[in-house]
Copies of this chain bind each other. A is one copy, B any other.
Amino acid sequence: MTAADPLRHLERHYAMIPLTRAMGLRVARFDGAQLVLAAPLAANINDKGCAFGGSLASLMTLAGWGWIELATHARDLAADIYVKDSRIRYLAPVWQDFEAVARPAREESAGEFLATLAGAGKARLSMACDIPLADGTTAATLEAEFVALTRR
């Protein structure tokens, strides 16, 4: 399997959600630590001409979800992944195409999450996502708890 295959697997998942297609969501890259999704401003604009808050929140949530999907897929674990709880802070408006970056929250161990999921069939993982801006500041942050359940 080439490095690109898991990202294509992820893109197929996203493409099953009509709203991600309407958002123009694209899987930008995954470096093993962080998953980056991208979306154009035009499809996600609000009535003020900047990015719609719902699009920022959705892209961050989808990035957190996708990171876990990639991690479980890499371990040959077939799991359904759900977001349980999230906290979003909107810090600055977004006036251009944007990206959402996802990684496990600082205190989390992905290895422990995967071991628990493989052993118990259920595990929780908190993800930290954000929308970085070109000037080095952050437009929005999301902390979310996800639950994964292995499929029988």
* Chain A positions near chain B (C-beta within 8 angstroms): 13, 16-19, 22-23, 42-48, 52-55, 57-58, 61-62, 80, 82-90
Across the A-B interface, the 3 shortest Cβ-Cβ residue pairs? A54-B58, A22-B22, A16-B47
CB-CB < 8 A to A43: which residues of B? 18-19
B16, B17, B82, B88: which contacts A88 (Cβ < 8 A)?
B88
Copies in the complex: 2
Q: A86-B87, A89-B84 are in contact. Are A18 and B22 (CB under 8 A)?
A: yes
A18 and B86 CA atoms in complex are apart in Å by: 24
Nearest Cβ in chain B — how far from A138, in angstroms? 14
22 cross-chain CB contacts under 8 A? A13-B47, A16-B46, A16-B47, A17-B46, A18-B43, A18-B44, A19-B43, A19-B54, A19-B55, A52-B58, A53-B61, A53-B82, A54-B57, A54-B58, A57-B58, A58-B58, A83-B90, A84-B89, A84-B90, A85-B87, A85-B88, A86-B88
The reply to whether B53 and A83 form a contact with Cβ atoms under 8 Å apart is yes
- Taking A17-B52, A58-B58 as given, write out 17 further A-B residue pairs in contact, using a Cβ cutoff of 8 Å, ordered by the A residue number: A16-B46, A16-B47, A18-B22, A18-B42, A19-B23, A19-B54, A19-B55, A52-B58, A53-B82, A54-B54, A54-B58, A54-B62, A57-B86, A85-B87, A85-B88, A86-B87, A86-B88
